[in-house]
Structure 1
Amino acid sequence: MSIEIAPEKVAHVIIKAREYDAKVGAWNDTPEEGDAEEDPNAILEDFANDPTRAELAGFIGRMNYDEQANLVALAWIGRGTFEPEEFDEAVETARAERINSTASYLLGMPLLADYLEEGLEKMGYSAEDSENDVLGG
């Protein structure tokens, strides 16, 4: 029972998802109120054209079908939807239930970075080592 996605690819998603999650959620879609001079946090608000989100969506979108299913399965294991020994079942479920783009689904998941990190750890991989490999550390 091994994952069919390079841990470094998962780590890249974790790193980018953290950058994206660090931004304040755009719960208020009125850009007029997002004046960075009046509100320094406005610069961190995420809007649909956010470059970090676009980069992350593109990275996930370029993965093959198996990698995407494995990425979703890792997030589910990290979230506790499936147990590590149910990984193969989680991958099959991810394949069977795929309706929208995998990137849209994952980017809509709160705590995505935490879930993926936890999923890697539960599957016996060091998320920290993989992230360091990506960051060149």
Structure 2
Amino acid sequence: MISVSSETISRLMALARTFHAKEGVVIPQEPNSPSDDWALQALADHEDDEYYSEFESIIDDLEPDQQQEVVALMWLGRGDGTLEEWDELLKQAGEQWNTRTADYLIAHPFLAEYLREGLDLQGYEGD
């Protein structure tokens, strides 16, 4: 069970879909961990984007443990672990946490799909 509301996750998914659908958003590869700094370079051209700004604001307003939940949810959704390994995914997200969580998440072109799959595996319905 995650403490981040499904409404917040749904909003993040909608913003990610819109952001990634825009022309000119090119992210060369997916980061391996939240500490990969290439995401900052890839996203530097988009810092004035309204969708990116709202996405970043929502993530930054979450507590660090909630940010870690969103990262772990993405990892779960993309198959980096199973629901039975949820505690381990959370632990790993905590170990790799830094203040650039929004950049790390939005740098994944399939973020919305990963979050949706993660929610489905957690038993949430909707969006």
Q: TM-score category by the smaller chain?
A: 0.7 to 0.9
Q: Which residue of 2 aligns with 1:55?
A: 54
* Alpha-carbon spacing, 1:17–1:71, altered in 2? closer, same or farther (3 Å): same
In the alignment of these two chains, the number of paired residues is 109
Distance in structure 2 (CA, Å) of the matches to 1:99 and 1:63:
13
Distance in structure 2 (CA, Å) of the matches to 1:7 and 1:119:
11
Task: Report the secondary structure of 2:46's partner residue.
Answer: coil
Question: Percentage identity across aligned positions?
Answer: 36
CA RMSD of the aligned region, Å? 1.5
* Structure 1 residue ranges without an equivalent (≥5): 28-45, 129-137
Greater radius of gyration (CA): 1
- The more displaced of 93-102 and 105-114 is 93-102
Is 2:119 the partner of 1:120?
A: yes
Q: Which residue of 2 aligns with 1:90?
A: 89
User: TM-score, normalising length from structure 1?
Assistant: 0.73
Distance in structure 2 (CA, Å) of the matches to 1:25 and 1:116:
23
User: TM-score, normalising length from structure 2?
Assistant: 0.79
Moved over 4 A (4+): none
Q: CA deviation at 1:97?
A: 1.0
* Structure 2 residue ranges without an equivalent (≥5): 27-44
